[in-house]
Amino acid sequence: MTCTISLKLRDEGVPKLALQMPLYPEAKMPFETPAGVDNISGGYVDTAGVLLFVWSLVPQGVDYSQPYITPLNAPSHARLPKAILVTCGFDMLRDVGHAYAQKLAAAGNEITYVHYPELPHGFIQMTAHSRRCLEATQELARMLGEALRKPQRPARGSDTKTRRRHEPAAG
């Protein structure tokens, strides 16, 4: 929803968010992606669960490819809030999240892309059961605090790429 809200606020010309932090973003339905196939069933949340979510959220007959349902399909990704975008290795949304990070960077947005290859979708809800999930969540909380303290950089042209890849420390 973070991606959709950021697009909608921009399109309506209201003040934009200071920061967006999509965690395993639902930027597109993942059914045909390698991550969608790899995580089709059996995980905490899996591709089958995304399908159920879509059936529950999107009324029958509505075009789910429109940008406020599928943000990856927006005609422009320019002038969006700075972002900390997070994906995980064991996540059906991994590939669509990565594609969305690339779109944000290509459109000149300030983005920090964080990928945790060893963690599953929903890891921030597993901190009581996994030290690694707790460490990753704490790392993201620190990044969020730092990003909110740092002033927004001036807007740049759409030809500027400002993608920083952050690989978490081994642990």
* pLDDT score, position 27: 83
* pLDDT score, position 158: 37
Q: Is it the case that residue 117 has pLDDT exceeding 90?
A: yes
* pLDDT score, position 44: 64
SS3 assignment, position 12: helix
| % of the chain beyond a pLDDT of 90 | 56
Q: Is it the case that residue 129 has pLDDT exceeding 80?
A: yes
Residues 9 and 16 sit within 8 Å (Cβ to Cβ)? yes
**pLDDT (tens digit, 9 = 90+) per residue, 76-114?**
999 999 999 999 999 888 999 999 999 999 999 999 999
Q: Which domains does the chain have, with CATH numbers?
A: 2-166 (3.40.50.1820)
What are the CB-based long-range contacts (under 8 Å, 24+) for 139-142? 139/168, 140/21, 140/23, 140/84, 140/86, 140/114
* pLDDT score, position 163: 35
Q: Is it the case that residue 47 has pLDDT exceeding 50?
A: yes
* pLDDT score, position 154: 58
Average pLDDT on 136-162 reads 74
* pLDDT score, position 42: 66
Which residues, 6+ apart, have CB-to-CB distance to 65 below 8 Å?
A: 73
CA distances from residue 143 to 38, 112, 138, 167, 170 in whole angstroms, order as listed: 29, 9, 9, 13, 17
Q: For residues 73 and 116, what is the distance between their CA atoms, to the nearest angstrom?
A: 25
83: left (phi over 0), alpha (psi -120 to 50) or beta: beta
